[in-house]
Structure 1
């Protein structure tokens, strides 16, 4: 087990004392490492000279909050050895390179586990470590397309709707990687346990997310075409509707008792077509849409306030932090002048917090060298600045 001293101050969360090495990348790897940092782990991000990412200002890259950064050139003389020294002192290592890249750089699983047999080595990729596409480039949209997940999203007569990169990168990728490395860490810490490699592929996670849908498909209660089912926008009482001011309300009263309240408050209780008659769903959708266009989003929000009609205003990213419920729960917090989602989930005995802003590349090299007792970091810094 790695040492628990880490030099990080403030509320830590349930992973206090866990040390994580993150080899810098983009997308799901950094988000997974941020989640571990939010939960209290001491995450050291190994940045490369010249940076890596999508060009966002490092000071505003919130996926690097609660971390510390060291600068290591893995192609320099002392670079690989420095990472191996970090891995020797860590509980978890995360990398998101193409298969074989870490091995070529000298920091692959075999090298790291030889130095630290209890290390959990987390690998984050889109296609996985093996298979015909393993060596190919890709992004979120391709991964969710291949698994069938993208085909479910959008209207039946339009191209599939792209759900940002939330469904693949973060839900199918980051969250599965975090579950995997924490499960493997539990195993490593049991008597007789050992370290291991966690192969987290976005295609695997994105496919797994659709488990319920596959069950419904097998049972004959889901049609294999988008916009035709209860939960994919095909149902007129599960979707979004435009209001008089060009905004939207989200509607989801699936249960009959909630639906009855919804239609009553909407003002169509006596005239609405039978919701159980799917042949009249288009007619029902038109009636609901016409009613929502008679008032503004604010007015409809007031109408449905305090009800169980399962209706909510569709808020923008900038509006969401100011909603009374989210404000009361402090779902969003401000740190260093940046409004951002608070750590989740919440813990009664080991609360977590945003205790530091986005790590600046290389800013913590000396501190980590001292806290983790890795003198080679200072040598590596010399390599990168000569």
Structure 2
């Protein structure tokens, strides 16, 4: 695992030279900004004094992983002198990211029409749960709500059990921030040819549905009906507890992997396992046998049994264990930034790889530098700080 702290002035990556203005928010918006920063974009985080709910939930300052590589500019958007300042910024950036409810940016005077009038090439990224229009557009919600409406959350249930999914992954991060980053990349590519910006309406509920496209495919052909190999009905696609309370994932879907799996466990001649792999009538008995068997020994024992095989048996690692796994260490899949172990930038590019461009900033840490770069004089910056328009860290 590497420790990464880069110089903000020497950004590297495929998006080096792209400038982004991110209106501070929570969840998918900051994640989108982090993805762009990891790939070399200069992301100016427009923060408001006092922080956001995100800073309360995830920690602020150097602990805010989603803010790594960004520069913090703290401006009071309600101050009458702030609009001209923000418009100067908008005129110099390539991308804007906001995650407010529909209509909020318009009321602040920074809606798409206002901003595109200032900068016609601007890619304007909007991140909401329900989208900019529709019956739910003005309603509150969170990750599981968006995943629920999309149909994706229901697929996360264990067979016969309650539906759930890992928190924030399906709606917020995958269906939200990741899809917004993809839309921004597409719009930036198109703007190079047309010279025109555009507005991206990214809705987490739609992104969550898109992530579940393969499951909708299975449903359409009648294969998502409680006898599907992927919904934990099958004994060969599930998790099993070991004697020490640790867990294994068991996923030998393909016939050749399943045959090797059964052979490795000494069950090839067992009557419960005789016959076809997809004989669903046998699945309950097979699952009971596997649960009993895996529960007799510790996880380390079973990992040794399945070492160097294609039986698709792997440990369920905790967030503390994952960075130490030999595979993750070999690929530098995790990095340490400001004392916090966190996932490294991904995916890996061969010629212009992304990297963590710097530590998460303190609120207002770059206010002075950013405004001086805009062309303001030191005296003007001091005046804005004294008037409460901006806040500078330290």
Partner secondary structure for residue 178 of structure 1 = helix
The alpha carbon displacement at 1:80 in A equals 2.3
Task: Tell me which residue corresponds to 1:92.
Answer: 95
- Whole-angstrom CA distance in 2 between matches of 1:100 and 1:380: 28
Computed over aligned residues only, the root mean square deviation of the Cα atoms, in angstroms, reads 1.7
- Whole-angstrom CA distance in 1 between matches of 2:17 and 2:233: 48
1:65-98 alpha-carbon deviations (Å, 9 max, x no partner): 0111000111011222222211110000000000
Task: Tell me which residue corresponds to 1:3.
Answer: none
Task: Tell me which residue corresponds to 2:40.
Answer: 40
The alpha carbon displacement at 1:385 in A equals 6.3
1:209-236 alpha-carbon deviations (Å, 9 max, x no partner): 121222221212222xxx6422121221
Task: Tell me which residue corresponds to 2:240.
Answer: 241
Gaps of 5+ in 1: 1-6
Partner secondary structure for residue 121 of structure 1 = strand
> How do 1:354-373 and structure 2 match up within 5 A?
354-373=356-375
Contact 1:120/1:181, CA 8 A, preserved across alignment? yes
**Distance of aligned partners of 1:380 and 1:30 in 2 relative to their CA distance in 1, 3 Å threshold:** farther
Task: Tell me which residue corresponds to 1:381.
Answer: 385
Task: Tell me which residue corresponds to 1:175.
Answer: 178
1:110-143 alpha-carbon deviations (Å, 9 max, x no partner): 1110010000000000000000110111111111
- Whole-angstrom CA distance in 1 between matches of 2:195 and 2:381: 30
- Whole-angstrom CA distance in 2 between matches of 1:214 and 1:250: 24
- Whole-angstrom CA distance in 2 between matches of 1:180 and 1:230: 33
**Distance of aligned partners of 1:266 and 1:380 in 2 relative to their CA distance in 1, 3 Å threshold:** farther
Task: Tell me which residue corresponds to 1:4.
Answer: none
- Whole-angstrom CA distance in 1 between matches of 2:129 and 2:354: 29
Contact 2:82/2:389, CA 8 A, preserved across alignment? no
- Whole-angstrom CA distance in 2 between matches of 1:213 and 1:353: 33
- Whole-angstrom CA distance in 1 between matches of 2:129 and 2:382: 34
Task: Tell me which residue corresponds to 2:299.
Answer: 297
Task: Tell me which residue corresponds to 1:251.
Answer: 250
Task: Tell me which residue corresponds to 1:62.
Answer: 65
- Whole-angstrom CA distance in 1 between matches of 2:147 and 2:204: 8
Gaps of 5+ in 2: 1-6
- Whole-angstrom CA distance in 1 between matches of 2:95 and 2:227: 43
Aligned residues: 376
Candidates 71, 74, 77, aligned match of 1:71:
74
- Whole-angstrom CA distance in 1 between matches of 2:376 and 2:199: 24
- Whole-angstrom CA distance in 1 between matches of 2:288 and 2:186: 49
Partner secondary structure for residue 124 of structure 1 = strand
Candidates 282, 285, 293, aligned match of 2:287:
285
**Distance of aligned partners of 1:88 and 1:269 in 2 relative to their CA distance in 1, 3 Å threshold:** same
Task: Tell me which residue corresponds to 2:24.
Answer: 24
TM-score, normalised by the number of residues in structure 1? 0.93
**Distance of aligned partners of 1:16 and 1:377 in 2 relative to their CA distance in 1, 3 Å threshold:** farther
**Distance of aligned partners of 1:310 and 1:156 in 2 relative to their CA distance in 1, 3 Å threshold:** closer
- Whole-angstrom CA distance in 2 between matches of 1:39 and 1:296: 41
Task: Tell me which residue corresponds to 2:229.
Answer: 230
Q: 1:102 and 2:105 equivalent?
A: yes
Contact 2:76/2:390, CA 8 A, preserved across alignment? no
TM-score, normalised by the number of residues in structure 2? 0.91
Contact 1:140/1:165, CA 8 A, preserved across alignment? yes
- Whole-angstrom CA distance in 2 between matches of 1:169 and 1:219: 29
- Whole-angstrom CA distance in 2 between matches of 1:207 and 1:377: 46
Task: Tell me which residue corresponds to 2:353.
Answer: 351
1:196-216 alpha-carbon deviations (Å, 9 max, x no partner): 000000011111112122222
The alpha carbon displacement at 1:344 in A equals 0.4
Partner secondary structure for residue 343 of structure 1 = coil
The alpha carbon displacement at 1:378 in A equals 5.9
Partner secondary structure for residue 239 of structure 2 = strand
Task: Tell me which residue corresponds to 2:12.
Answer: 12
Contact 1:11/1:352, CA 8 A, preserved across alignment? no
The alpha carbon displacement at 1:166 in A equals 0.6
The alpha carbon displacement at 1:51 in A equals 0.7
**Distance of aligned partners of 1:378 and 1:146 in 2 relative to their CA distance in 1, 3 Å threshold:** farther
Partner secondary structure for residue 189 of structure 1 = helix
**Distance of aligned partners of 1:309 and 1:106 in 2 relative to their CA distance in 1, 3 Å threshold:** same
- Whole-angstrom CA distance in 2 between matches of 1:374 and 1:244: 66
Contact 1:82/1:380, CA 8 A, preserved across alignment? no
- Whole-angstrom CA distance in 1 between matches of 2:192 and 2:278: 53
